[in-house]
Amino acid sequence: MTDEQKRKYNTMVEKINNMSKEELKKLIASNQCPYEPEHLIGVPMGMHHCGVCGSMVVAGLPHPR
């Protein structure tokens, strides 16, 4: 990951961590999970479960909606 990708990823994580459980549930229910795996470019993860909603996502690609 580049420094810019790390910054964007950390910003996303901070945003998610500052959301209430109710807000996260509402976003997930409306198919708008705030997790952004596209920031994980170059990270050897491949497919993994979204830590927020549990859907399968691929590192480096947008979260399927």
- DSSP for 19-54, please give it: S-HHHHHHHHHTT-----GGG-TT-TT-EEE-TTT-
DSSP state of 1: -
Return the pLDDT at 35.
Answer: 95
Mean pLDDT for the stretch of residues 10-19: 96
Mean pLDDT in residue range 4-21: 95
pLDDT digits (tens, 9 = 90+) for 43-59: 888 899 999 999 999 99
Per-residue pLDDT band for 1 (boundaries 50, 70, 90) equals: confident
pLDDT tens figures, 19-40: 999 999 999 999 999 999 999 9
List b or e across 12-38, with b for residues whose CB sees 16 or more CB atoms inside 10 angstroms: beeebeeeeeeebeebbeeeebbbbbb
